[in-house]
Copies of this chain bind each other. A is one copy, B any other.
Amino acid sequence: MRSVVIHPPHELRVEDRPLEKMGPGQVTVAVKAGGICGSDMHYYRHGGFGTVRVREPMILGHEVAGEIVAVGEGVSALQVDDRVAVNPSRPCRACHYCLEGLPNHCEAMRFYGSAMPWPHIQGAFRERLICDASQCEAVSANVSYEELALCEPLSVVLHGVKRAGSLLQKRVLVTGSGPIGAVAVAAARHFGAEEIVVTDVVPEPLAVARRLGADRTIDVAANPDDLAVYVTGKGSFDVLFECSGNERAIRDALVALRPRGTVVQLGLAGNEVAFPLNLLVAKELALVGSFRFHEEFALAAKLIGQRRIDLSAILTRTYPVEQAVAAFEAAGDRRTAMKIHIAFA
């Protein structure tokens, strides 16, 4: 089966891999769409991030949707031809963190396409994916596979929104209008935020954020002073979804937060950031990390499957698997690409 494989240090190849054997409780999914995520881009460009390095060939990808083509023994909830989103999160369900209800911190997590553990966890950018039936969320047919593959980034965001607590009567700032930031806008709207402002340094993603429900967007490269109006008093925003990982964006946003405001940190930084600690103290802000997701995936599938949240505005283009390198190149340009997919089957 055709697979998209990263070879150390960071060479991307489309190559054939043998199909694994389907066991009881498992299904075989023909992968119809796989979305390229920021971490895939890091493997492609740099062979890793932080201290994580690709040290053996690894199939990339963790944002996939497809069609069931075979079901294993004992699987009753799914059948052939079902259209499913596949949850890439595979916690062990037995470690200390799993038993505390924190599966995203599982000590033996096997998240698709991750070079953190050794051996690496092979990903889902492949023609056929054999996975546990419990990983699959089936939806009706009126949703495209590309939209369905957005269950993964939506899950990331849903987890982040959970970390923020209720958005009732909350003014929300989103810094960074990439795929995660844009989805955060849609989610903040869905969960009733009172007002949503988004910033970025490029105009095109901001246009997408407006389509997803932003009340106001600010191109802080073009109009660096437009945030100033929110700085008056001791600041305006109750919640910041920080999706840029950029230290300047963080600093400027913190100034615009009101005392006791909450920052949900979703964006990753290249490295340590210069952080205004005294500002956090004086305003008693809470900076809260948000990492992956697990049980939110089922909800994401429901929201997308029932079209309660429509994320189609972030879809850019789908490339056939043979053009995977072109797809990755395209995904690197924030002005022209929001979310690029690869079709495998």
By a beta-carbon cutoff of 8 Å, the part of chain A in contact with chain B is 50, 93-94, 96-105, 107, 158, 161-163, 165-169, 190-192, 194, 233-234, 245, 251, 259-260, 265-269, 272-278, 280-291, 295-296, 299, 302
Contact = CB atoms under 8 A, between A and B. Distances in A.
Contacts of A296: 169
Contacts of A272: 251, 274-277
Contacts of A100: 101
Contacts of A97: 234, 259
A93 B102 contact: no
Contacts of A283: 105, 289, 291
Copy count, this protein chain: 4
12 contacts: A93-B94, A99-B101, A107-B233, A158-B169, A166-B191, A268-B277, A273-B275, A281-B290, A283-B289, A283-B291, A284-B290, A287-B287
A291 B299 contact: no
Nearest to A284: B289
Given A280-B289, A286-B287, 5 more contacts: A94-B94, A162-B168, A191-B191, A275-B277, A281-B291
A162 B274 CA distance: 28
A291 B285 CA distance: 10
B278 A50 contact: yes
Given A169-B299, A296-B169, A234 B277 contact: no
B291 A265 contact: no
Contact of A99 (B99, B268, B274, B280): B99
B259 A105 contact: yes
A93 B101 contact: no
A165 B167 contact: no
A309 B280 CA distance: 29
Contacts of A290: 281, 284
Contact of A287 (B163, B273, B280): B280
A277 B284 contact: no
Given A162-B166, A296-B169, A266 B289 contact: no
